[in-house]
Amino acid sequence: MNAPATSAARPVPVPQVLSGLEPGPFHDRLAALNHQQAWMNWMGYASPSVLDTVEFEYFAIRNQSTLFDISPMCKYAIAGPDAEAVVNRLVTRDIRKLKPGRVAYCIWCDEDGQVVDDGTVFRYGPNEFRLCCQEPQLSWLEDIAWGYEVTIRDVSREIAGLALQGPTSCALLRDLGLDGIESLKPFGIGSFDIAGVALSVSRTGFTGDLGYELWMAPEGALAVWDALMAAGRLRGLRVIGYEALDMARIEAGFLLPKIDFLSAQTVLRADRAVTPYELGLDWLVALDKPHFNGRRALLELSRKPPRRKLVAIEIERDKPAHNALVYHRKSREVGMVTSALWSPTCKRNIAYAWLDAPYGQTANDHLWVEIYLQKEIRWQRRMARCHPVEKPFFTHPRRTATPPAEY
């Protein structure tokens, strides 16, 4: 089990390969534990992709508890008398139904009904919101808010964040004295304190498991980290990188921008943008609410089947279908795989794939993926049968149990 670095530890610089990137609020602790020295660029921060081994980190998510630095996420504070109206105009869900102290997963679209991004909306009060997302959205938000009495601020560097995920995460927080944390419902927000540092804690995450996200001022970040690591010795706490998290999010049915779909703001080819209906996110579109961006186009699109669809598929045998093409009757190309994984927990070969209509909608038979395997520097081609399935692949009662069981 990883021991916490002390507050007196010598600062560890960002490796030369990532020169120009900003060390995040937890960088000194992460660098001391990053035995692989495997880093990636996440919104200008040096973020670990793997610290020890992907296998250890993945199984810690499903059997213990894990820490992942989510400080690089884009975060925007939206406040003022018209804050609700602005957020409701931005996203496709009806934000009027979101009560203070709650979080909602949302998407937002351009005027053609094409998805710009997805993220989470935190409602802290009647006129106070925070939007968390993967891509920069400040200019888009300012356009949406034109003419409204509202203030929008980019607070990405003002808030440090940690994702604490796994079966023992609630017990660990109780060990730290967070009284009442066991009563926090999924997508709820609570105010707590760790090591004298004020926290906003949400029961949210990207793993599909029991878990929480902890938000704090950067100046208190290391004190919170050290307290978590000390308490986590008895709860199997392990620090993880992006690669293990990516495995868990595929199992949990979460989509990732730039991997499973592209933002309508960044595509170079018009046909690469996608709609909520193509992503299978119809349930996030409230056409009966007042006007929002893209509503007219989405209303028209809702009247006809999507031209293509991102679907969950299960594949025969055990070789992941990374970047594979999908064929009908082994001859006609009808789609492509975006994310793929042999799931260690589900013991299934799973993936997400874009399929042209009618495949994946009304025609689901005789679908095959073309997998290439490298064995001792020689490539082998394998055709494996697949079929669409319901997502998520991984579900467990502990994700929503309130209070969570003792682990």
Q: Which residues pair with 386 in a beta bridge?
A: 315, 367
**AA letter at 258:** K
Taking the CA atoms of 139, 143, 144 and 148 in sequence, report the sign of the dihedral they define.
positive
- What the block records as the tokens of 350 is 């799973």
- What order of strands is seen across the sheet that includes strand 65-69? 189-194, 197-202, 211-216, 160-165, 65-69, 237-239
- Paired strand residues for 78: 129, 152
213 is in an annotated binding site: yes
Helix (H) / strand (E) element for 37: namely none
Computed over its alpha carbons, how large is the radius of gyration of the chain?
A: 22
Q: Three-state DSSP class for 90?
A: helix
- Consecutive H or E run containing 280: none
Query: How far is it, in rounded angstroms, from Cα 193 to Cα 189?
Result: 13
Centroid of chain to Cα 376: 35
Q: How far apart are CA 291 and CA 246, in angstroms?
A: 35
- Residue 58 host element (H or E): helix 54-63
How close are the terminal C-alpha atoms of the chain, in Å?
A: 17
- Annotated binding residues, written as ranges, equal 213
- Annotated binding residues for substrate, written as ranges, equal 213
